[in-house]
Amino acid sequence: MRRRAGRAALVVLLVLVVLTGLLWGLQRRLVYLPDDGPVPAAAEVLPGARDVVLETSDGLRLGAWFVPGTGPASPTVLVANGNGGHRGYRAPLARALADHGLAVLLFDYRGYGGNPGSPSEEGLARDVRAARAYLLGEAGGAPDRLLYFGESLGAAVVTELATEHPPAGLVLRSPFVDLAAVGAEHYPFLPVRALLRDRFPVAERIATVQVPTAVVLGTADAIVPPAQSREVAAAAADPYRLVEVPGAGHNDRVLLDGEALVGTVVDLAAEVTG
């Protein structure tokens, strides 16, 4: 009996070692789920939109779509995607925001939507800075009329950007506390925090960002537990707005361009840009 128990324990140990090795070697393939496209021309998807190119600090050229606002002083929304798909999947959001007169930039990270490079925390930080530089440069936007919108992983991307370049307002949709916290929900038997290369500490960073912040979550989110999004909201240093969409899952359409989500962005834009 002792020998059998010892063998069983050894098998379990070997399985855990193999799984740990796989997580270490393949973790970015589990975190980042890019869709290579093809991505259509902007005008085919969004009326009045144009294709633009973002240039990163490490020399990559990234595809993006820009939808101008209704006037030269229109608030502008920089949209940072979640970890899956490409910018085409966020076209309904851009269309809904544009219908309210807002300018919108949709862009793809490195490795997404046919872009060169491979995604990483450092790489995505470079990518979103290139997006901001485009909006404040070629697009003629103003820092005091610029909002950041981040979806899930994108919430981590724009929160990090906000620590260095604060926007007029910040909207975080389904944010997690940090990547290890959400990873542990899905891989509870592995030492996720010890293994992860990319950290994305959203709750820690949001506490240092002094701008009006709104957090939107779905109460039936099975990817990012609602409790984590609430924790991020509670950590926000600036007075925040917490919007809970009853019964909504992480990838439900209502959390893409639903009334509660779009209304939150539009209301915050009106509030912070006057």
Lowest mean pLDDT of 12-16, 110-114, 159-163, 267-271, name the range.
12-16
Asked whether residue 18 carries a pLDDT value surpassing 60, the answer given is: no
Please report, as a single letter, which amino acid is at residue 63. G
Start-to-end C-alpha separation, the chain = 75
Pair 169, 269: CB distance under 8 Å: yes
Give 57-114 pLDDT, tens digit per residue. 999 999 999 999 998 789 999 999 999 999 999 999 999 999 999 999 999 999 999 9
Q: Where are the domains of the chain?
A: 32-273
pLDDT at 3: 59
What's the whole-number average pLDDT of the chain? Answer: 92
Give 35-62 pLDDT, tens digit per residue. 988 999 999 999 999 999 999 999 999 9
Name the phi and psi angles at 177, rounded to 5: -65, -55
pLDDT at 29: 82
pLDDT at 189: 76
Question: How far, in Å, CA of 77 to CA of 167, rounded?
Answer: 10
Residues 6+ apart with CB under 8 A from 28: 118, 119, 120, 197, 198
Class of domain 32-273: alpha beta
Averaged pLDDT, 203-231: 98
Is the pTM of the predicted complex or chain greater than 0.85?
yes
Which runs of consecutive H residues, i.e. helices, occur in 99-212?
121-136, 153-164, 179-186, 192-195, 202-206
